[in-house]
Structure 1
Amino acid sequence: MKKIINNPTDVVSEALMGMQAAYPDKLVYTPKMEVISRKEKKTDKVAVISGGGAGHEPLHAGFVGKGMLDAAISGNVFSSPSPDRIGSAIEQVSCGKGVLMVIKNYSGDIMNFGLSADLAEMDDIEVAQVVVKDDVAVPDREEGTGRRGIAGTVFVHKIAGAKAEQGASLAEVKAAAEKAISNIRTMGVAMTPCILPAVGKPGFQIADDEIEIGMGIHGEKGIETTKIKTAKEIAEILVGRILDDYDYSGSEVAVLVNGLGGTPLMELYILNMEVQKILEEKGIKAYRTFVGNYCTSIDMTGASVTLMKLDDELKELLDAPCDTPALKI
């Protein structure tokens, strides 16, 4: 294992300290609680927070700033943050207008954020939550945890943060976030596994001549292991699964071609070229496109494609200014 780290047990805290050191005028790091929050606190709006296990950078802390999140909470690598960490973030950002929690659909996150909301409400802090479940590789079912939350979470951060910045009520911010969630679908592919710093070896295996379709961002099994394919073929598979799950025909969409951490931008742009061709052929207009690393899996090579169907409100919120380490509009 070759990684630029000190002690494997300190990677989360040291990464967050490094982020604050890079943006000292914008971010505040809370040691031990592993919270990154906005340095310029706003006292006249709903606060929006999110979080989850580390290893998905820039998600979530990279999206803290004006127009997106007010705070992000990190757990250990691929592990949910504990309720005390989430509670610390809620206390830091609450200003009497309510707090919206954006949660990815994993059992640990659902449990810990839910418990934190209950504790906050005992202290008279109004808390609402939305759950992102955009991964079409997993069936959308009632029983069990169901569909995973992955890269589409970035769009939810953007929509909820912009709505809150407008001065909307907690109910209005939640409604905008839920509208975004209902219109978002994502599908990914892994080319190689990732290496957890504390383990020092891949968490799973992919043969040199194979790829995993639908692999989760923690290394969860995909829906198919197949031989290496061209960018065109991969785009057809990913977009095809998305369009099979949700009707985007005749609509305008936001597109996210997301790298999983180890994929060169050159390859992501090639994938985007093929995605755009498919959308044009299907009569789907790409209103705004984002290409890069937004929701990663440490050093995994691979990519995901996300589509968000837009209406006038979502377009306005998507275009609204934001200023964060990972996204600036």
Structure 2
Amino acid sequence: MNMLINSAETVVADALRGMAAAHPELDVDVERRLVVRRGAREGGRVGLVSGGGSGHEPLHAGFVGYGMLSAACPGEVFTSPVPDQMTRAAAAVNGGQGVLFVVKNYTGDVLNFDMAAELAGEDGIRVERVLVNDDVAVTDSLYTAGRRGTGATLFVEKIAGAAAEEGAPLERVAELARRVNDSSRSFGVALSACSTPAKGSPTFDLPDGELELGVGIHGEPGRERRAMMASREIADFAVCAVLDDLEQVAPADGPVLALVNGMGATPLLELYGFHAEVVRVLAARGVPVARTLVGNYVTSLDMAGCSVTLCRADDEMLRLWDAPVETPALRWGR
């Protein structure tokens, strides 16, 4: 596979060097693998820290900035960051109001963020943890115990980040983040496999003319493999899988935040066409859409495919979603 890299060993460091050059408003520590919002300790705000394996860009480092994350900890490709990164991040953003760890439900991330929370606590930093586990495709997988954390991570980080920006206390920010996660569900589809720099070839076998329904963001298997389907058929399957699960826990009469997310190699021409089909299915199910985001936000390297994330949003969530945000990958209202 041809890749625009120097080497597999330096790909994350090289990306961080490039990010530092492109975004001087961020403090990027290439050696320690930290991306920190400049002035993160100022203003008496709760600090928000997230992170995970690289390869899902712009998640998480692309969401560091005003109204969202205070810091991100990038690991190696598809590999959890280590507790030292997270502990340093907590110290770098703690302004005395405590720190919220936003953790996707993957075994390495959970274990390492838990350990970092203990270490930060020993240093006198109050830490709350919120687990994101929105993927309805499967329960338990190669990387997880329970459901995987995917697109709802963006909703959690944006809405909790806006609450922290307003000065909400740690317990309130954490409660809101959990409520967003509990109100969100996702489903992903792969049209091709992804290729990691270290392997240099597809990480799983997906023959031409087939797709993986319910794929994970690391290429984990989903519910089933089928012959290629039309966009409208994929939307029927994915949106109904999300709504059928979501309606068990969230009121069925409220509006949703909708994320139509590209996995990395699917162009906007296709994503917008798919979004039209998503809207069609939601309308048929009587679900109003309050806000929509279409694009590549939680990716899987060069995988072709998409995911749908829906969040049953109350008035407070919508207000905080609309609040100003200024990060490399998400910005409005300033």
Q: TM-score range by the shorter chain?
A: over 0.9
Q: Any residues of structure 2 matched to 1:37-52 within 5 Å, and which? A: 37-41=36-40, 42-52=42-52
Q: Secondary structure at the match of 1:20?
A: helix
Please name the residue that 1:28 is paired with.
Answer: 27
Task: List per-residue Cα deviations over 1:68-104 (Å, max 9, x = no partner).
Answer: 0000001100000011111111111111100000000
Please name the residue that 1:150 is paired with.
Answer: 150
Alpha carbons of structure 1 residues 140 and 55: separation in structure 2 relative to 1, 3 Å: closer
Q: Does 1:312 align with 2:315?
A: yes
Contact preservation (8 Å) 2:186, 2:309: yes
Q: Secondary structure at the match of 1:217?
A: coil
Contact preservation (8 Å) 2:186, 2:308: yes
Return the letter of the residue paired with 2:161. Answer: G
Q: 2:300 aligns with which of 297, 300, 303?
A: 297
Q: Any residues of structure 2 matched to 1:75-90 within 5 Å, and which? A: 75-90=75-90
Q: Secondary structure at the match of 1:237?
A: helix
- TM-score of the superposed pair, with normalisation by structure 2: 0.96
Please name the residue that 1:228 is paired with.
Answer: 228
Alpha carbons of structure 1 residues 140 and 78: separation in structure 2 relative to 1, 3 Å: closer
Moved more, 118-127 or 245-254: 245-254
Please name the residue that 1:12 is paired with.
Answer: 12
Return the letter of the residue paired with 1:150. Answer: T
Output the aligned Cα RMSD: 1.2
Please name the residue that 2:165 is paired with.
Answer: 165
Moved more, 36-45 or 267-276: 36-45
Return the letter of the residue paired with 2:230. Answer: T
Q: Please list every run of at least 4 consecutive aligned residues from structure 1 whose deviation after the TM superposition is greater than 2 angstroms.
A: 40-43
Deviation at 1:43, TM superposition (A): 3.7
Q: Secondary structure at the match of 1:8?
A: coil
Contact preservation (8 Å) 1:77, 1:196: yes
Deviation at 1:140, TM superposition (A): 8.0
Deviation at 1:17, TM superposition (A): 1.4
Q: Secondary structure at the match of 1:196?
A: coil
Q: 1:261 aligns with which of 258, 261, 264?
A: 264
Task: List per-residue Cα deviations over 1:93-138 (Å, max 9, x = no partner).
Answer: 1111000000000110010000000001001100000000000002
Q: Any residues of structure 2 matched to 1:69-80 within 5 Å, and which? A: 69-80=69-80
Q: 2:279 aligns with which of 267, 276, 281?
A: 276
Contact preservation (8 Å) 2:139, 2:145: no
Structure 2 stretches lacking a partner, 5+ long: none
Please name the residue that 2:182 is paired with.
Answer: 182
Q: Secondary structure at the match of 2:171?
A: helix
- Name the CA distance, whole Å, in 2 between partners of 1:94 and 1:267: 42
Contact preservation (8 Å) 1:52, 1:75: yes
- Name the CA distance, whole Å, in 1 between partners of 2:159 and 2:220: 28
Contact preservation (8 Å) 1:258, 1:291: yes
Deviation at 1:139, TM superposition (A): 2.9
Q: Does 1:193 align with 2:193?
A: yes
Deviation at 1:297, TM superposition (A): 0.3
- Name the CA distance, whole Å, in 1 between partners of 2:291 and 2:233: 23
- Name the CA distance, whole Å, in 2 between partners of 1:54 and 1:85: 14
Contact preservation (8 Å) 2:5, 2:11: yes
Return the letter of the residue paired with 2:29. Answer: T
Please name the residue that 2:213 is paired with.
Answer: 213
Please name the residue that 1:129 is paired with.
Answer: 129
- TM-score of the superposed pair, with normalisation by structure 1: 0.97
Q: Secondary structure at the match of 2:329?
A: coil
Return the letter of the residue paired with 1:147. Answer: R
What is the number of equivalent residue pairs in this alignment?
Answer: 326
- Name the CA distance, whole Å, in 2 between partners of 1:20 and 1:63: 14
Moved more, 48-57 or 243-252: 243-252
Deviation at 1:14, TM superposition (A): 1.0
Return the letter of the residue paired with 1:272. Answer: H
Please name the residue that 1:99 is paired with.
Answer: 99
Contact preservation (8 Å) 1:249, 1:282: no
- Name the CA distance, whole Å, in 2 between partners of 1:163 and 1:138: 31
Deviation at 1:246, TM superposition (A): 1.4
- Name the CA distance, whole Å, in 2 between partners of 1:85 and 1:33: 7
Deviation at 1:200, TM superposition (A): 0.7
Please name the residue that 2:54 is paired with.
Answer: 54
Q: 2:252 aligns with which of 238, 249, 268?
A: 249
Q: Secondary structure at the match of 1:280?
A: helix
